[in-house]
Amino acid sequence: MKRPTIADVARRAGVSKGAVSYALNGQPGVSEATRQRILAIAAEIGYSPSSAARALSGATANAVGLALCRPARTLGIEPFFMELISGIEAALSARSYALTLQVVADQEAEIAVYRRWWAERRVDGVFVCDLRTHDPRVPALETLQLPAVVIGGPGHTGNLASVWSDDAAALVETVEYLGALGHRRIARVGGLPSLLHTEIRTDAFDQVCRRLGLDGAVTVWSDYTGEEGARATRRLLSSATRPTAIIYDNDVMAIAGLSVAQEMGLSVPGDLSLVAWDDSPLCQLVHPPLTALGRDIPAYGAHAARQLLAVIAGDPVTGLQDETAHLTPRGSTAPPRER
Amino acid sequence: MKRPTIADVARRAGVSKGAVSYALNGQPGVSEATRQRILAIAAEIGYSPSSAARALSGATANAVGLALCRPARTLGIEPFFMELISGIEAALSARSYALTLQVVADQEAEIAVYRRWWAERRVDGVFVCDLRTHDPRVPALETLQLPAVVIGGPGHTGNLASVWSDDAAALVETVEYLGALGHRRIARVGGLPSLLHTEIRTDAFDQVCRRLGLDGAVTVWSDYTGEEGARATRRLLSSATRPTAIIYDNDVMAIAGLSVAQEMGLSVPGDLSLVAWDDSPLCQLVHPPLTALGRDIPAYGAHAARQLLAVIAGDPVTGLQDETAHLTPRGSTAPPRER
DNA sequence: CTGAAAGCGCTTACAG
DNA sequence: CTGAAAGCGCTTACAG
C-alpha cells in the first residue's frame, strides 16, 4: 500500500502543497472553507504527515524520550514505573506525541543516549528519573540544551524544570502516626542510598524521630527487591531491641517484610506494625492488608508530560509540586502490644 | 549547542558527504583507511546521523512500535509487560533501534495508531500483544504491509510472524501434577475470556481433566486484577463442593486468592493448593510461597524483537516457538487433606 | 575508489 | 489568501 503524501492531498484539493501544510497545522494563510475541504480530503485518504519530513524541516520530532536505569527485575516488579509510563503516555498521546523508551545500564550510558537522541534529533525532550545529588545528567542536559523535566526533587535540578512530591512531609506524617499509636522503636528500610529521594526521606526520618524523642530509630538500606527487603527485615527483627514498627521505601519490600515477620512467628500488627511506601493494589492483596503511603502515580506522570511539552514549547517552566502522598491505615498497623 | 551534520564530518575529513555516508553505513565505496579516519572524526565531534533525514531518504525509521491495550491499573501491577518491554528493549538497543510505546483504549484505537504510525513512517514495524481469535488487527496490518510480529499464538496470526509458547502443554503438566498429588476437584481462575491464550488454556484444561476423569473441574473468568481474583476465589470456596486446588492465570490473582483462603480460615496447602501462572518474584514474597508456572519473559521479548528486525530486513520469518513454562513447586501445593 | 547531484516530504519565508 | 521555491540532512544511483 502506498503512503499518501502532502502532494496527493494538494492535487485532490486543487491547491498547493504549502496550502495543505498551513491547513493541517492550523496556520493562517488559507480560508476556513479551504481548510475544511483539505482536512476532509486528508482524512478520507488517510493522510498523516511524515514525521521524518516534518522533523527535517525544522519542526519538532513530536517525540520525547524516557531512559530508565534500573535492572529488568526491579523494573518488572515495581508497579511505580509502569504506572508512571501510563500517565506520561496518556498526556502525550492527547497531543499526538510519541514516547521513546530506552533501558540503560548506568548513568554514563544514559548520558550517551541523551547525546545520541539529541544528535539524531530523535526526541524534542526527555524525562529524568531517579535523581541523585550532584547528578551528572543535569549539567549534561543543560549543555546540550535538550528540553528536560526531572521527575523528582525538590532541588538539585539545576536550571531544569521538575515535578516533585514532598516526601519529607509524608514521612513525618507516618512517623507521627506511629508515635501516636505508642511506638517508640521505629525502623525504616530505605531504598538505594544514592538516590536523592532516599536521602530526603532519611533526613526527615532522623529529624522527626529526634523531635519525638524516639531514640530506637534506625534506617537500613536496600535495593527495592523483595530479597533485600526480606534480608533487612530479618536483621532488624533479630536484634535484641527489635523495632515494633517498620516503614519500607516501597511496597514490594513491605510485602517481603510481612512474610518474614510471619515466618519468624511474629503477629502483624500485634507484635509488629508495617507501613509501605507506594500504595499499589498489591498492598491490599496480602493478609493483613498493608497500611500504605500512596498517591496518584499516573497523574504524576501526566503532570511531568505536560511540563515537558511546555518546556519544548518554550514556555517559562520551573518546579511543580505534585500532591503529597497520604497515609491509608489498614490492618498492618496498631498500637504495640506490651511485652 | 549546534548539532554536527554529515557536512561537518565531510569537511573535516576532506571528503564528500557521500563518502561519509558510505563509511558510516559500512557500504563499499571508501577505502578502509578513509573509513577509519571518517569514523574517528565522527566520534570525535559527536556526530550521529539525523534519524529524520535518514528516514526521509528512504532508509528505515530505526524505530518499532508497541501499542498496549490494557488499563493503567492492570498494566502497572502485572510484572509481565514491564519484563517483556525490558527484554524487547535490550534486543533493540543492541541494534540501535528505538522503541515507541503507546497505550490505547481498544483494538479500534490500536488499529488507528498502526495506520498513523505507518502514514507518518514513524516505525518500521510493530509488536502485537493480547491476540484474539479473528483478531481484526491481523488483516489490518497485512493490508498496510507493515512488518509485524505477534507475541502470542499459536495460530490465528494470518501471514504475520509470531513468537509463542505452548501454554496448553504447561497447563497439562500442572493438572497432571495436581492429579498425582491426589486432587480430584481442581478449579481454574482464567484471564479475559476473549484472549486467545485464555481460550487455549481453557480447552487444554477441559481436555486433561476429562482424560484424568476429574469431573469437578471448573473454570471461572476474571480480568487479571486482584479484586476479581479475590472475588472468583471467594465464590469457588463458598461452593458446597469446593475445590481442593486452584490454578490462576496470573500471579496477582493467585496472591489475592491466597489472601482470601487465609481470611476464610483455610490453610494453604493443607485445605487448598494454589498454583500461579507467571512466576514473578512476587510469588516468593508471600507466605507460603506460591507454586508457579514460569518462564523467562525478558528473553521472550528479546526473541520477539529479533524476529521483528528480521521481518523488517526482509528475511523469511514464520512462527517461532519459545520455551514452555515450567512448574516450580513451592509451599502452596501439597496432597489434599482428608475431610 | 570519489564527487556532484537528485530526491525523500515536509515547512516556511517570499512574491504575487 | 495562494503559489513557486528554497532548504532541512541524509542516501544512493550515476559519472568520472
Q: What is the per-residue DSSP string for B280-303?
A: -GGGGTSSSPPEEEE--HHHHHHH
The residue lying closest to nucleotide C9, measuring its CA against C1', is: A53
Q: Using a CB-CB distance cutoff of 8 angstroms, which residues of chain A are in contact with residue B129?
A: none
Compare B127 and A8 and report the one with higher pLDDT: B127
Residues 181 to 200 of B: which have CB under 8 A from any A CB?
A: none
Quote the CA–CA distance of A27 and A161 in Å, as a whole number.
29
**How many domains does one find in chain B?**
3
Contacts of A287 in chain B (CB under 8 A): 258-259, 262-263
CB A238: neighbour CB atoms within 10 A?
9
- Predicted confidence at residue A161, as pLDDT, reads 96
- For residues A45 and A114, state if they share a domain: no
A and B: number of Cβ contacts within 8 A: 187
Q: Which residue of A has its CA nearest to B62?
A: A122
C-alpha cell at A131: 535523581
Does residue A319 carry a pLDDT above 80? yes
Residues B259 and B178 in one domain: yes
Q: Do residues B45 and B71 both lie within one domain?
A: no
Does residue B318 lie in a domain region? no
- Which of A118, A120, A263 is facing B287, going by the closest CB pair? A263
Do residues A69 and A174 share a domain? no
CA-based angle B10:B11:B16, to the nearest 5?
45
Chain B touched by A33 (CB under 8 Å) = no
Joined grid coordinates for residue B263: 481470611
B63 closest CA partner among A62, A156, A193: A62
Residues A156 and A211 in one domain: no
H-helix or E-strand spanning residue B117: helix B107-120
Provide the 10 A C-beta neighbour count for residue B202.
19
- At B274-325, the pLDDT tens digits run 999 999 988 998 889 999 999 999 999 999 999 999 999 889 888 999 999 9
- The answer to whether position B235 is within a domain reads yes
Grade residue B77 by pLDDT with cuts at 50, 70 and 90: confident
Query: Is it the case that residue B18 has pLDDT exceeding 90?
Result: no
Q: Are B156 and B166 in contact (CB under 8 A)?
A: no
Give the dihedral sign, CA B83/B85/B91/B93. Answer: negative
The C-alpha cell that represents A176 in the structure block: 507521627
Where is average pLDDT lowest: A17-31, A156-170, B133-147? A17-31
For chain B, give the percent of residues with pLDDT over 90. Answer: 70
Last residue of a domain, one of B129, B157, B185: B157
Residue B92, pLDDT score: 93
Which CATH number fits the domain that encloses residue A12? 1.10.260.40
Are both B43 and B85 inside the same structural domain? Answer: no
Cis check: omega of the bond before B4, within 30 degrees of 0: no
pLDDT of residue A109: 93
Asked if A95 has any chain B CB less than 8 Å from its own CB, the reply is: no
Q: Phi and psi for B266 in degrees, rounded to 5?
A: -95, 140
Lowest-confidence region among A71-75, B38-42, B145-149, B165-169:
A71-75
- CB contact under 8 Å between A73 and B281, yes or no, is yes
Can you tell me the mean pLDDT for B61-80? 86
Q: Is the pLDDT of residue A1 over 80?
A: no
- Average pLDDT on B5-11 reads 89
Does residue A119 carry a pLDDT above 80? yes
Q: A252, B285: Cβ pair inside 8 Å?
A: yes
Tally of residues, chain A: 339
pLDDT band for position A215 (50/70/90)?
confident
Residue B113 has pLDDT above 70, yes or no: yes
Is residue B339 domain-resident? no
Angle between helices A251-263 and A226-238 (to 10 degrees): 50
Confidence of residue B1 (pLDDT cuts 50, 70, 90): low
B266 touching chain A per CB within 8 A: no
Please tell me which of the candidates A48, A53, A145 has its beta carbon nearest to residue B1. Answer: A145
**Selected residue with higher pLDDT from B28 and A217:** A217
Q: Report the run of H or E that residue B327 belongs to, with start and end.
A: strand B326-328
In the predicted model, what is the mean pLDDT of residues A14-43?
A: 87
Detail the protein residues whose CB sits closer than 7 A to any atom belonging to strand D. Answer: A 14-19, 22, 28-32, 34, 53, 56-58; B 3-7, 17-18, 20-22, 24-25, 27, 29, 47, 49-50, 53-54, 56-59
Asked if residue A336 is part of any domain, the answer here is no
Judge if A308 and A232 occupy the same domain. no
Quick check: is A93 in a domain?
yes
Q: Smallest CA–CA separation between B23 and chain A, in Å? A: 17
Q: Check whether residue A138 and residue A177 sit in a common domain.
A: no
A37-80: per-residue pLDDT in tens?
A: 999 999 888 888 888 888 888 778 899 999 999 877 778 888 89
**Residue of least CA–C1' distance to D9:** B53
In this complex, do A285 and B226 lie within 8 Å of one another by their Cβ atoms? yes
Contacts of A280 in chain B (CB under 8 A): 76-77
Residue with nearest Cα to nucleotide C11 C1': A57
Prior bond of A71 cis (ω within 30°): no
For the cut 70, the answer to whether the pLDDT of residue A339 exceeds it is: no
Return the closest-CA partner of residue A301 out of B221, B76, B139, B315.
B76
Contacts of A288 in chain B (CB under 8 A): none
A91 touching B (Cβ < 8 Å): no
Top residue of B69, B101, B266 to mutate, by most chain A CBs within 10 Å, is B101
CB burial string B300-319: b at 16+ within 10 A, e below: bbbbbbbbbbbbbeeeebeb
Q: What's the mean pLDDT when you consider all of chain B?
A: 92
Q: Do residue B3 and residue A119 have CB atoms under 8 angstroms apart?
A: yes
Domain identity same for B33 and B87: no
Measured CA to C1', the nucleotide nearest A30 is D1
pLDDT of the residue at A206 = 97
Nearest chain B residue to A224 by CA: give it: B281
pLDDT score recorded for residue A302: 97
pLDDT tens by residue, B213-271:
998 899 999 999 999 999 999 999 999 999 999 999 999 999 999 999 998 999 999 99
Average pLDDT over residues A221-243: 95
Q: Which domain holds residue B38?
A: 6-49
The yes-or-no verdict on residue B339 having pLDDT over 70 is no
Distance, CA of B290 to chain centre: 22
What integer pLDDT is reported at residue A127 of this predicted model? 98
Mean pLDDT to the nearest integer, A11-40: 87
In a domain, A338, yes or no: no
Amino acid at A90: A
Residue type for B29, please? G
- Chain centroid to Cα A227, Å, comes to 23
Segment A205-211 shows an average pLDDT of: 97
For all residues of chain A together, what is the average pLDDT?
92
Instruction: Confirm whether B134 is domain-assigned.
Output: yes
Which residues touch A35 (CB under 8 Å, ≥6 apart)?
A22, A23
The answer on A185 and A243 residing in a single domain is: yes
pLDDT tens-digit series, residues A266-311:
999 999 999 999 999 889 988 899 999 999 999 999 999 999 999 9
Terminal CA-to-CA distance of chain B, rounded, Å? 77
On whether both A241 and A135 belong to a single domain, the answer is: no
Which is more confidently placed, A105 or A29? A105
- All cell numbers assigned to B105: 483504549
Length of chain B: 339
Closest residue of chain A to B53, computed from CA coordinates: A56
Closest Cα of chain A to B83: distance in Å?
A: 5
- A28 confidence band (pLDDT: 50, 70, 90): confident
| CATH code, domain with A142 | 3.40.50.2300
What are the CA-CA distances from residue B327 to residues B172, B270, B290 (Å)? 11, 20, 11
Q: Does B121 touch chain A (CB under 8 A)?
A: yes
- The pLDDT of residue B75 is 81
Q: Are residues A197 and A290 in the same domain?
A: yes
